[in-house]
Amino acid sequence: MDGTIIVQGSFVVPAAVVVQPIPIACGVDWMYVYNFTQSGNTPGVVAGVQFYWQRGMPNGTAIVTYRTAAAPAVSRVDTLLTGGFTLLDTSNQQPGPANALTAITAANPPVVTSVVVPALGSVVRIMNIPAAQQQQIGGLDFTVTAVAGGAFTIGNINLANSAASNAGFWRAIPFDPIFYPRRRYITFVRSAVQAVIYLSVTHQFAVGQRVRLSFPGGAAVWRNYAVLDGIECTITAVNVARAGAEPTNALGDNNIQVNVDTSLLGAWNVFGAANNEAYPGVGAVPFTPAAVDPVGEDSAFSLTTPLAQVPLNVDGSAVLGANTGLLSDATANLAFIGMLLGTGGNGGQLAAAVTGPAGTAAGDLMFWRAGKSTSGGL
Partner 1 sequence: MGVSLRQTEDQLTRDMLAGTAAFINAVNGGNGDNPTELEITDIQNVVRALLNNNAYTIMDNIEGEDKFGTGPIRDAYFGLASTNVVGNLEGVVGFLQKAAYPAPMNALRSEWGAINNIRFLVSSIGSVTPNASLLGADVYNIFVVGMEAYACIEQDGYSASFIYRPPIYDGPLALNASVGYKFAEVPRITNDLWVINLRTTNV
Residues that bind partner 1 (CB under 8 A): 1-3, 91, 93-95, 98, 125, 127-129, 135, 138-139, 169, 171, 176-179, 181-183, 212, 214, 216-217, 285-289, 291, 293-295, 331-333
Tell me whether residue 141 or residue 364 sits nearer to partner 1 (CB atom). 141
Burial annotation 52-71 (CB, 10 A radius, 16+ → b, else e): bbbeebeebbbbbbbbbeee
Distance (Å, rounded) from C-alpha 38 to C-alpha 47? 7
CB of 324 to partner 1, least distance (A): 17
Q: Which of 198, 90, 86 is closest to 143 using CA atoms?
A: 198
CB of 342 to partner 1, least distance (A): 27
CB of 46 to partner 1, least distance (A): 41
Q: Which of 141, 143, 104, 99 is closest to 121 using CA atoms?
A: 143
Backbone Cα Rg of the chain: 24
Tell me whether residue 11 or residue 169 sits nearer to partner 1 (CB atom). 169
Cβ atoms < 10 Å from Cβ of 75? 11
Residue 280 preceded by cis peptide, ω within 30: no
CB of 11 to partner 1, least distance (A): 26
Tell me whether residue 33 or residue 314 sits nearer to partner 1 (CB atom). 314
Q: Which of 341, 374, 358 is closest to 53 using CA atoms?
A: 341
Tell me whether residue 4 or residue 349 sits nearer to partner 1 (CB atom). 4
Tell me whether residue 125 or residue 223 sits nearer to partner 1 (CB atom). 125
Tell me whether residue 55 or residue 183 sits nearer to partner 1 (CB atom). 183
CB of 343 to partner 1, least distance (A): 29
CB of 207 to partner 1, least distance (A): 19
Burial annotation 350-360 (CB, 10 A radius, 16+ → b, else e): beebbbbbbbb
3-state secondary structure of 65: strand
Tell me whether residue 63 or residue 137 sits nearer to partner 1 (CB atom). 137
CB of 275 to partner 1, least distance (A): 22
Are 90 and 335 in contact, with CB atoms under 8 Å apart? yes
Tell me whether residue 11 or residue 175 sits nearer to partner 1 (CB atom). 175
CB of 65 to partner 1, least distance (A): 34
Residue 109 preceded by cis peptide, ω within 30: yes
Tell me whether residue 56 or residue 230 sits nearer to partner 1 (CB atom). 230
Distance (Å, rounded) from C-alpha 39 to C-alpha 49? 6
| Spatial CB neighbours of 253, under 8 Å, sequence gap ≥ 6 | 198, 239, 240, 241, 242, 246, 247
CB of 363 to partner 1, least distance (A): 36
Q: Which of 165, 146, 162, 163 is closest to 154 using CA atoms?
A: 146
